[in-house]
Structure 1
């Protein structure tokens, strides 16, 4: 959210700054909403809030869960590479149809 706090109504601006535990100074009001939110998340994480730390890591793409999913996708992509598409699954299947005994050659 690139919107600057100074562009918001004063009551909303002050509420956001208070929630992020910042003082309502001109310097802080020149920050964007996203800067204040991320700053608040970092502050809360540093104080020991494990849920906020997990959320922050997920937003940064550093979560162990996200890393594991990325590895799984890479392995699946490697296993299904385009070179293997025409090879099939390695099983050669032949189908034999019985003679219909009509003598017309159609099975």
Structure 2
């Protein structure tokens, strides 16, 4: 919900998440109560700062396993996983456009 509020992705991108209209509305209400969304459902400065803080923390936590592997083993894992990811994307099991507002996935087939 906060991604849609900051304009990182269209609301329609979140349809596959299984939220009902009532759940979506309730989430927007909670974000508005916290001062993250304005009356029109757009992110406030507080909301953008909060979303940025969440993203920084998420990135840091997600990076730790890669750091623990070290550069060589991390590169090896990435090379082993790449064909699997490519197959999943090619099969349409994951959207090519992230529902998180991240750039479209680019897959180079070897």
Place the TM-score, normalised by the shorter chain, in its bin. under 0.3
Highest CA radius of gyration, 1 or 2?
Answer: 1
Higher relative contact order (CA 8 A, sep 6+): 2
Question: TM-score scaled to structure 1, two decimals?
Answer: 0.27
